[in-house]
Structure 1
């Protein structure tokens, strides 16, 4: 049995659409979630998965603090 799906992140979507992309409210509400995601990805927002533990460990070995 699965849990309920996560609710759509309206606050984040509106903030990004109006604040980052500077869409008018009318343009924002005409934009589909897919279009919004693609526009944000073009700006490098949400474009990649988090770094893996192995990649992070390698980065720390190559560039240690201190």
Structure 2
């Protein structure tokens, strides 16, 4: 983002939606903290498969 003023709304929205941060958490965070919390913007891992989910559900059953 070339201009901080134009990038803030998008970054604040991303922090709220992806991280669940309220506005005060966004404004207290340093740029490095925000970048670390968001991680890479491009996905690096494959999505969980149905079999993976079933394995987790069997391993960590609630009841």
CA RMSD of aligned residues (A): 2.4
Residues 40 and 46 in structure 1, CA contact (< 8 A), matched pair in contact too = no
Aligned length: 42
The answer for the alignment partner of 1:21 in structure 2 is 19
Which of 1, 5, 10 aligns to 1:12? It is 10
TM-score (norm 2): 0.52
Matching residue of 1:45: 41
Q: Secondary structure at the match of 1:20?
A: helix
Q: Which runs of 4+ in 1 moved over 3 A?
A: none
Give TM-score scaled by structure 1 length. Answer: 0.50
**In 1: Cα distance, 2:19 partner to 2:42 partner:** 14
Structure with the bigger percentage of helix: 2
Q: Which has the higher contact order (CA 8 A, sep 6+)?
A: 2
